[in-house]
Amino acid sequence: MTELQSDLSSALVDTEVDFCTLDVKGMTCASCVNHVEKTISKIKGVQAVTVNLATEQAKVRFQDDQKKTVASIIQAVDKLGYAAQLANPNGSNQLKREFNFWSSGGLSRVIIGFLITTPLMTPMLLMAFGIHFEIDPMIQLTLALPVQFWLGWRFYVGAYKALLNGSGNMDLLICIGTTAAFGLSLYLLSTDQTKELYFESSSFVISMVLLGKWLEINAKYKTSSAIRELQKLWPESAHVIDEFDLIQEIKLEQLLPGDHIKVFPSERIPVDGIIEEGVSQIDESLITGESNPIFKTVGQSVIGGSINGDGFLIVKAQAIGIESTLSKMIQLVENVQMQKAPIQKLVDQISAVFVPLVVFISIFTFIGNFYYLDSLAESILRSVSVLVIACPCALGLATPAAIMAGTGVAAKFGILIRESAVLELAHRIKLIAFDKTGTLTKGEPSLLDIIEFDRSQIAFTPSSVSLAYGLQNGSEHPLAKAVIQYAKSRKINPVIFTNIKNISGIGIQGETNIDLPGKTIIKLQSLNSLVDQSFYSDLFIKLQPSLIKGKTISILTLDNSTMNSIAIAALIFGDEIKTEAKNVISHLKAMGIETVMISGDNVYSANLVGQEIGIDKIYAQVLPEDKGKWVEKLKIDQNQQRRIVAMVGDGINDAPSLVQADVGIAMGTGTNVAMQAASVTLMRGDLNLVFGAIDISKKTWDKIRQNLFWAFVFNTIGIPLAAFGLLSPMLSGSAMALSSFFVLSNALLLSDWKPKFADSK
């Protein structure tokens, strides 16, 4: 950390805040998490706290009227025996430091531990082949000492801190167990009973636990790979155009809103902004999940972190740093990874009493075995095995590891899960309510059809699209944009006009002399503005089918000094239904999910869209304030049974219903209000991502259940086996270490997940 960063961190620690994130070093199991969380929550003024073993962080929120300094929280955590510090906003958190340590010095300690332990294990291994070999007792002691008190010192420190605070953790169990085995061996050695020493048991358990910790840190680090991949999307610098039109390369953190940035081909765009010059294809796949590059031109927005294609761009910076889309994505994913799923509350309650219960079982095991076997050594070994097998590492990692992996991989495909509770609910959805405009439809007018009229009386060759394009080229009107997009997609060139004028309440007109003598005026105007024309009644009859469907119609007319006004063509505009909508609704029905549309549009328009794509029920002309009430009603089915309901929307008027739903899903193409109200945000307007959200929920929930099952299985089966002498301390240590690794590896299987699509086979 640089001197500047150090000063900044110190300043932040002493600053009064209403929220802080801390890296917490020294937590080893679910009991540690529970103890840190309980202690912080008891501090006056703390409103809420969540501690996560997988990320090794604590997030603390204070009451508005009782702000506290970060230093006061750090002091409280340090008193518990853990080391806390303000989390680095750039993502270099405790987990990364732990990974760096265990990848270098930590791994060397694991290797040294097994190198020392191997000679101690050799006689036992050779015995399996009928070879009897003994190592001098003093050599055994010499080998076991550094393992017990050098490599194992971290367990003594952790256990001591736990005892100081009247709690138990994994370190305490390991410390008691290995010390008991080591102490028993010392006692036997001092009384010349050297035939059965157990130095290899204590040494192997410590070495195996260290190996398990190394495997655990590596696996935990991989579960946070999605966050690191997002962080890598930022370029280190940007090319800024100064007031003298010179290009300067400056660091990203020095950028300011309003800066003009030149983006070269194949470069990453450094900020959220608006294109001022240039055209290019932009690859936004790692941010929105959209696989195809998107054509962007002047006036369109770009997202920081996306990759420019083969064009040169000048972008005006709008959002930088923590205000940018990418930074908000990273923060959102980090926040949900820190959250506890509702099922984790049960795990925390169990963990709170687990270690004391295990110590009690271990003591009872010792007393019972000593009574029935009359063997001090065997009784101690069995109680040691109970302590070692019962370490609750896997239990503490089961849920957060799966949440980290699931939410991380979902973010890679443009599915941002804001609340961990979604993972327990989305796969149980029985009904999905959709908004219409902007959700099932594209939310903007498109040029759907062009009806050409008879031109036989004039020799006039330009196409209707080229005329409309020429009149509206450069206009920001929604209908004009629809015409321009239509023309560009078909590579139609605009006709050149002069004296272009907007006619209030009517439309637009311009002059051209193509193909006709004299001055020719072309107008693009509304149908209603032609009511006084002789051809109006014929037009109305021809266009009635489109009018009934609620389409918007513009008429292209021609006025020439040598002839009367005539209608050239009708341009039919409408809010086009998304291409995937019908397949998505069909697929949801096949999954047994009922579909509903709740729209503020008129009954005819809503029914037209709903019936075309196969929606089960349609509720039209619903006021924004009533949408939430409808969602609440839909939570009760026809049998008066409670069911899980999702709402998919994009507008401000959808916010109440998104909050009211069990699972609110907002389209990222919509308003910020909707996205803030929803528990899931889809970074692009593809309805197929609704499947993705449901599917990753199911997959993550399955992993949570599997992890908790195996964590409990290892303990519930292992403890009785150890108590009855069927598991040695060495096997117990191996099983304990492998259980944590198994849980994390199982969660990592989610990294191969890809969203399903309605049209996939």
The encoded tokens of residue 360 equal: 């009690």
Question: If we measure between CA atoms, which residue out of 281, 273, 287, 307 comes closest to residue 229?
Answer: 287
The encoded tokens of residue 577 equal: 């239904």
Query: How far apart (Å, rounded) are the C-alpha atoms in residues 30 and 474?
Result: 61
Point out which residues pair with 133 in neighbouring strands: none
- Does residue 658 contact residue 671 with C-beta atoms inside 8 Å? no
Question: If we measure between CA atoms, which residue out of 95, 397, 103 comes closest to residue 227?
Answer: 95
Rounded to the nearest angstrom, the gap between the alpha carbon of residue 410 and the centroid of all alpha carbons in its chain is 6
Instruction: Give the alpha-carbon dihedral of 656, 657, 660, 665, to 10 degrees.
Output: -110
CA distances from 30 to 34, 53, 355, 530 (A): 6, 7, 10, 75
Give the pairing type, strands 19-25 and 83-86: antiparallel
Point out which residues pair with 302 in neighbouring strands: 273
Amino acid letter for position 88:
N
Element (H, E) at 691: helix 688-723
The encoded tokens of residue 386 equal: 């109970």
Question: How many CB atoms sit inside 10 A of residue 133's CB?
Answer: 10
Question: Which residue's structure tokens are 């009784």?
Answer: 379
Instruction: Give the alpha-carbon dihedral of 325, 331, 334, 338, to 10 degrees.
Output: -140
Point out which residues pair with 314 in neighbouring strands: 262, 277
- Does residue 383 contact residue 365 with C-beta atoms inside 8 Å? yes
Give backbone dihedrals phi and psi of 320, rounded to 5 degrees, phi first: -130, 165
Per 3-state DSSP, the chain is made up of helix, strand and coil in percentages (nearest 5) of: 50, 20, 30
- Does residue 21 contact residue 12 with C-beta atoms inside 8 Å? no
Question: How many CB atoms sit inside 10 A of residue 172's CB?
Answer: 27
Amino acid letter for position 660:
Q
Question: If we measure between CA atoms, which residue out of 267, 328, 272 comes closest to residue 302?
Answer: 272
Q: What is the 3-state secondary structure (H, E, C) of 540-590?
A: HHHHHHHHHCCCEEEEEEEEECCEEEEEEEEEEEEEEECCCHHHHHHHHHH
CA distances from 61 to 47, 48, 290, 334 (A): 6, 5, 35, 16
- Does residue 206 contact residue 148 with C-beta atoms inside 8 Å? yes
Count CA atoms closer than 13 A to 661's CA, side-chain side: 31
Query: How far apart (Å, rounded) are the C-alpha atoms in residues 491 and 477?
Result: 21
- Does residue 539 contact residue 546 with C-beta atoms inside 8 Å? no
Query: How far apart (Å, rounded) are the C-alpha atoms in residues 43 and 103?
Result: 36
Our separate counts of H helices and E strands in the chain read 26, 28
Query: How far apart (Å, rounded) are the C-alpha atoms in residues 432 and 508?
Result: 43
The three-state secondary structure class of 369 is helix
Question: Which residue's structure tokens are 């196969």?
Answer: 614
Catalytic residues: 435
Query: How far apart (Å, rounded) are the C-alpha atoms in residues 667 and 684?
Result: 6
Query: How far apart (Å, rounded) are the C-alpha atoms in residues 83 and 26?
Result: 7
